[in-house]
A = this chain, B = another copy of it.
Amino acid sequence: MADYPLLRKVSRCLRQWDFAARCVLFQNGDHLELLDILDPQGECRALGVAVDLGTTRIVMRLVDLSSREILSDTVLNNPQISVGSDILTRIHHASTDEGAEELKAMVCLAVDDGMETLCLQAGVSTEQVYVVTVSGNTAMTHLFMGLPVDHIIREPYIPVTNTPGTRRADLFLSNTHPEGRVFFFPNIGSYFGGDLISGVLYSGIYRREETTLLVDVGTNAEVVLGNRDWLVACAGAAGPALEGGVSSMGMTAGSGVIDRVSIEGEDFSVGTIDDLPPVGICGSGFIDLAAALFLTGMIDAKGKLVESACGARYTHEHGLPALVVVPGEDSGTHGPITVSQASLDSLVRSKAAMFTILETIVMKVGVGFDDLDRIYVAGTFGAYIDPESAISIGMIPDLDRTRYEKIGNSSLEGATLMLFGDRYMDEADAIRDRITYVELNVDQDFMIRFSGAKFIPHTDPDLFPSVTIPKPKE
């Protein structure tokens, strides 16, 4: 059935076009919706935008729905950061109607800006955008939609909806075709969001015969394990530990940020983004650094800086031990680039949380790490991690490196896939229905495993046979 505004113009257009038209149809579940009719002699372009709605960043992609060509990409900061960088502060802010409205407006405006940027880059009109697919965690999706979020963080953690579904775009956005639609990925409760469903969809693990582990490492860490017969997921409870860790671990990737570190003797060799003088260090660079520090004995198994091994690089910051990675004369900031003991402690907690989560989920279903045919590493942060370094510090299991496969921003990729066919809607629902969500209770067992993982690489070195543990220099 045609929407009302279209009904008003269809009779005139058809006569003008000699009763020929191209139709823009939207398959919404079991029914087709006629969004627009186009002059068959004209350009006839229908575009879609995929949105990875992150807590920190919003990544957007413009796609031609007919040719499936990617026309442009853009990234913007989530402006809700001005209210609070963590989701908890935003949820508190949204507890009043005005606050919720404000947060909704912020993010909708940002996405609208993104739409404009994307279309400008591609030289197309925002009026040609008929579909927007949004993949975000449950809280972000609710905040975008202006839905109450109070109960996402209150027991028993029930979001307003697990199936936000397809809505008219004009409820949220201005920069689409007036009859445009927004599809929101479904979520499983408060702690397993649409971004992860989107990631599972893109990874295809739900279709594989072999058991695969999908690890999404972004601001948070979520894990899905399974194959075409079963799927188990966990996230959340241990997340905050890692989240604090990852975000304190360094800056987000950008020009001049160190993303690769190796140490040869006393020489630190750093790689930076765009090969500019170093200005800081990002998460993946930090993991590289920690691995190198450990393998050269500059930090011990507890992650503590070993003064004697660090030599001249050992220093103090705010009264705590620290290490100079790049001296002031070589940096882009003209000051030394350092890592503090506090950051290293935080990294150890994060990697321990990560490993414990992986260990726990694998144990829960009675398989071993060796049974994992493949490990997909997704997420903005995960995309840059060097498995070698991550294994060296005991963050991820010590498996053949070829089993690790980076799949990039799987949330954005899943949202892109969703633009190409309603069958993916059914698949997203099917994934949602099939996943068994395991609450990672931070119980005594978990804490025991967590304590064991707080050593580099682990209290049980047999778990990391390929890591050569250095002999203490002392």
Contact = CB atoms under 8 A, between A and B. Distances in A.
A444 interface: no
Contact of A8 (B2, B8, B146): B146
A10 B165 contact: no
Contacts of A161: 2, 7
B151 A4 contact: no
A41 interface: no
A171 interface: yes
Nearest to A167: B4
A1 interface: yes
Kindly name the residue among A11, A15, A151 whose own CB sees the greatest number of chain B CB atoms within 10 A: A11
A7 B159 CA distance: 11
Contact of A148 (B8, B158, B167, B168): B8
Interface string A163-204: 111011001000000000000000000000000000000000
A160 B7 contact: yes
Contacts of A165: 1
A147 interface: yes
A473 interface: no
Contacts of A1: 163, 165
A145 B150 CA distance: 41
B4 A171 contact: yes
A471 interface: no
Contacts of A163: 1
Contacts of A164: 7
Given A1-B165, A165-B1, A11 B160 contact: yes
Contact of A11 (B2, B30, B148): B148
A318 interface: no
Nearest to A148: B11
Interface in A101-151: 145-148, 150-151
B10 A160 contact: yes
A402 to B, nearest CB: 45
Please tell me how many copies of the chain the complex holds.
2
Q: What range describes how many residues of A lie at the interface?
A: 20 to 34
Contacts of A7: 145, 147, 160-161, 164
Contacts of A4: 145, 167-168, 171
Kindly name the residue among A2, A7, A167 whose own CB sees the greatest number of chain B CB atoms within 10 A: A7
A151 B163 CA distance: 43
Contacts of A150: 11
A10 B147 CA distance: 10
Interface in A12-31: 12, 15, 30
Contacts of A30: 30
A165 to B, nearest CB: 6
Contacts of A147: 7-8, 11
Nearest to A15: B151
Interface in A378-426: none
Contacts of A145: 4, 7
Given A7-B160, A160-B7, A161-B7, A12 B148 contact: yes
A142 B151 CA distance: 46
Kindly name the residue among A8, A163, A164 whose own CB sees the greatest number of chain B CB atoms within 10 A: A8
Contacts of A151: 11, 15
Nearest to A146: B8
A421 to B, nearest CB: 20
A195 to B, nearest CB: 20
Interface of A: 1-2, 4, 7-8, 10-12, 15, 30, 145-148, 150-151, 158, 160-161, 163-165, 167-168, 171
22 contacts: A1-B163, A1-B165, A2-B161, A4-B145, A4-B167, A4-B171, A7-B145, A7-B147, A7-B160, A7-B161, A7-B164, A8-B146, A8-B147, A8-B148, A8-B160, A10-B160, A11-B147, A11-B148, A11-B158, A12-B148, A15-B151, A30-B30
Given A4-B168, A11-B150, 15 more contacts: A1-B163, A4-B167, A4-B171, A7-B145, A7-B147, A7-B160, A7-B161, A8-B146, A8-B147, A8-B148, A10-B160, A11-B151, A11-B158, A12-B148, A15-B151
List of 7 A-B pairs having minimum Cβ-Cβ separation, nearest first: A11-B160, A11-B148, A4-B171, A1-B165, A8-B147, A4-B167, A12-B148
